[in-house]
Structure 1
Amino acid sequence: MCLKILVTRPDADQKQTIGLLSGLGIEAVSSPVMEAIKLPFMLPDRASELPWQAMVVTSRNALRMLESEQLAQLRSVALYCVGAQTETLARSLGFDTIGETSPDVAHLTDRLLDLFSPDAGPILYLTAKHRSGKLAQALDVDGFDYTLIESYEMVALSSLTEEAVAAIQTKRLDGVLLYSSRTSQLLLTLFEKHDLADDMQHVTFYCLSDAVASPLKPTGYPLVVSAAPNEQSLLACVKKDHN
């Protein structure tokens, strides 16, 4: 019988994950728990000031929110990002210089502090309304001049898809892929809303990191944490469990 894995990523990110699962012979059950909503923002005019020494993004969503005129202003700025998929999107949008691609925010933060000087110019940081805040805090501590722009908000959806509910109720779901701690928290709320919490006891939750797994630990659900915080490693966990 074909494995069924719940994919909770936003619609814009689902296609690639579903394709990767299909390549492993696994059926994806789609049920995003959040969607990215663009927030109104303007880029500062730096014509008479020091140019940006770097632009920082930790998600593809930050790049997706840029208008064509804004992209034209920023393509020549060295981009530092999290994730190979973010780098791929940046290159497709015409960014000339990808300074470095890090596996997670913690690694990116360390690299920024190693590579740049507070005296060399400002840093542009495009991010979400909801975030950990650790990157900005580190820049503050080291005295960097930076501009933080909240370009989008991840908004919680109010329900699971009918397909997901049916798969859970009929015990046909084998696992769940989770990429953020907020997704984990929201998913628990949706399980309660649909009266599905008890039905998830046999389902394995594949988590991108310990932080992602943390909200689920009190539930007693089976948890598997990826060896590295990237999708390739996460899917390797699924494949290993079901070989």
Structure 2
Amino acid sequence: MTVLITRPEPGATQTASRLRALGFDVMLEPLFRIVFETPTTRPIDDYAAVLFTSRNGVDGLSRLYAPSTLSRLTAFAVGDRTAETARQAGFDTCHSASGTAHDLHDLIVSSIKDSEKPLLYAAGRDRTGDIEQRLKASGLEVDLAEFYRTEPSPALAPATITALTQGRIDSVLLYSRRTAEQFFRLAEQADIYDGLGSVNFLCLSETICDYVKGKGHFSCRIAANPDETSLLSLLD
């Protein structure tokens, strides 16, 4: 079975390693490129905690601060893998919501009470959801800082186009609606819709799957939980 990985680097290579270890053939087609930025924030010690909704946010922040500095802060992460990335970056204390942004909101609200310090949301420029607004509505002060942005790929690689046209790709991993939109945009640009009928689209959320179904009669499956382990389990 050949799996097409669409997430940006370095995550694409990490996912490829996981899949190869499980015996799958893989092709890498990162549909976006991560570009890190340096936003203006308060001094890092002025924050009560940092919240992350992606590993890219962790990578963006950790580029700017030494592990010894981050070790003094508490972090909150949307999922276990993001939490593990935060710990590797230097956060000694990192709480994982092991779920969605809604779960992360509830975890933070239940954990932080009567803090006079604000929270720092290490986010990307292109994002879904409004966790910072929901936290503010719950009475917490939140600074939103964009530590990275994503740039779309201009076209599918020739090898990917050939493999899709010849029906050699069994499954495509889709991690966000934006990634799904980009995939179908580039597939249409390459005029290869006819080669997608046999592809299984494996989606991290129902929102992504609904978009895929809206593009045609495509096979689509949804991960039981919004994390990569659940997504990859759809390949079993």
TM value normalised by structure 2: 0.92
SS in 2 for 1:147: strand
Q: Which amino acid aligns with 1:174?
A: D
Query: Partner of 2:232 in structure 1?
Result: 235
SS in 2 for 1:144: coil
Query: Are the aligned partners of 1:53 and 1:78 in contact in 2 as well (CA < 8 Å)?
Result: yes
> Are 1:54 and 2:49 matched, yes or no?
yes
The match for 1:189 among 182, 185, 203 is: 185
Query: Partner of 1:205 in structure 2?
Result: 201
Report deviation, 1:101.
Answer: 4.3
Cα separation, partners in 2 of 1:54 and 1:83, compared to 1, 3 Å:
same
Query: Partner of 2:29 in structure 1?
Result: 31
Determine the C-alpha separation between the residues in 2 that align with 1:12 and 1:209.
22
Determine the C-alpha separation between the residues in 2 that align with 1:68 and 1:233.
29
Query: Are the aligned partners of 2:97 and 2:107 in contact in 1 as well (CA < 8 Å)?
Result: no
Determine the C-alpha separation between the residues in 2 that align with 1:221 and 1:175.
11
Cα separation, partners in 2 of 1:167 and 1:70, compared to 1, 3 Å:
same
Report deviation, 1:212.
Answer: 2.0
Report deviation, 1:60.
Answer: 1.2
> Are 1:6 and 2:1 matched, yes or no?
no
Report deviation, 1:118.
Answer: 5.5
Q: Which amino acid aligns with 1:137?
A: Q
Determine the C-alpha separation between the residues in 1 that align with 2:206 and 2:122.
25
Determine the C-alpha separation between the residues in 1 that align with 2:177 and 2:133.
20
Count of matched residue positions in the alignment of Structure 1 and Structure 2: 234
Report deviation, 1:74.
Answer: 3.2
Report deviation, 1:208.
Answer: 0.8
Cα separation, partners in 2 of 1:68 and 1:151, compared to 1, 3 Å:
closer
Query: Are the aligned partners of 1:43 and 1:70 in contact in 2 as well (CA < 8 Å)?
Result: no
Report deviation, 1:104.
Answer: 2.4
SS in 2 for 1:173: coil
SS in 2 for 1:99: strand
Query: Are the aligned partners of 1:181 and 1:214 in contact in 2 as well (CA < 8 Å)?
Result: no
Query: Are the aligned partners of 1:118 and 1:145 in contact in 2 as well (CA < 8 Å)?
Result: no
Q: Which amino acid aligns with 1:11?
A: E
Structure 2 residue runs of 5 or longer lacking an equivalent are none
**Could you tell which deviates more after superposition, 109-118 or 14-23?**
109-118
**Could you tell which deviates more after superposition, 77-86 or 171-180?**
77-86
Cα separation, partners in 2 of 1:193 and 1:67, compared to 1, 3 Å:
same
TM value normalised by structure 1: 0.89
Query: Are the aligned partners of 1:54 and 1:78 in contact in 2 as well (CA < 8 Å)?
Result: yes
SS in 1 for 2:65: helix
Determine the C-alpha separation between the residues in 2 that align with 1:190 and 1:133.
25
SS in 2 for 1:16: helix
SS in 2 for 1:65: helix
Query: Partner of 1:43 in structure 2?
Result: 41
Determine the C-alpha separation between the residues in 2 that align with 1:180 and 1:126.
18
Query: Partner of 1:64 in structure 2?
Result: 59
Cα separation, partners in 2 of 1:46 and 1:163, compared to 1, 3 Å:
closer
What is the CA deviation profile of residues 107-145 of structure 1, one whole-angstrom value per residue up to 9, with x for unaligned ones? 111211222236442111110011123201201212321
Structure 1 residue runs of 5 or longer lacking an equivalent are none
The match for 1:175 among 163, 171, 175 is: 171
> Are 1:222 and 2:219 matched, yes or no?
yes
Query: Partner of 2:84 in structure 1?
Result: 88
